[in-house]
Amino acid sequence: MNYTPPSPPELLLDNQLCFALYSASLAMTKLYKPLLDTLGLTYPQYLVMLALWERDGLTVSELGERLFLDSGTLTPLLKRLEAAGLLVRLRDVQDERRVRITLTGQGRALRDGAQPIPHCVLARTQCTPADIGALTAQLHALRDRLVQPQA
């Protein structure tokens, strides 16, 4: 066996912010899977539906910006949700280059089935609503700093 000198603290896996975020994201996605299976949604599809329940009629471009997804990732998600009867994609009447996404009645009704999900997630995390709110705010602030162009 080859000798490897000990890593400095800044190179230890458990000291990496990226690994903490990555492993927490994997755990969170795993937590959501059985909850979303009951709705027939994947996690990325759930994010699309959340955005549309919040604001129906977004353009594909607006939805991509909201979810931080490019059109190559978003378009297949939208096609699957449209095939499932949850939304329709139509050309904007004022600008044919834009495609608007509108929920169907079935897509709007699915929101009722999603109502318990945030409570289930809160219970599983064993955090208080205030803790979740603070962590979410910190993560949004971090994300916003990371997506800003460097000076």
Question: pLDDT tens, 93-115?
Answer: 888 889 999 999 999 999 999 99
pLDDT computed for residue 94 by the predictor: 85
- Residue 116 falls inside a structural domain: no
- Residue 47 falls inside a structural domain: yes
Q: At 104, which CATH number?
A: 1.10.10.10
Rounded to whole angstroms, the Cα distance separating 78 from 103 reads 11
Q: What is this structure's pTM?
A: 0.90
- Residue 102 falls inside a structural domain: yes
Q: What is the DSSP string of 38-97?
A: TTT--HHHHHHHHHHHHSTT-BHHHHHHHHT--HHHHHHHHHHHHHTTSEEEEE-SS-TT
Range of the domain at 106: 40-111
Q: How many domains does the chain have?
A: 1
- Residue 64 falls inside a structural domain: yes
CA distances from 145 to 8, 16, 55, 142 (A): 27, 18, 25, 5
Task: Give the number of other CB atoms < 10 A from CB of residue 120.
Answer: 13
Report the amino acid identity of residue 106.
Q
Q: Are 102 and 56 in contact (CB under 8 A)?
A: yes
Rounded to whole angstroms, the Cα distance separating 69 from 63 reads 8
The yes-or-no verdict on residue 143 having pLDDT over 80 is yes
4 — pLDDT class (breaks 50, 70, 90): confident
6 — pLDDT class (breaks 50, 70, 90): confident
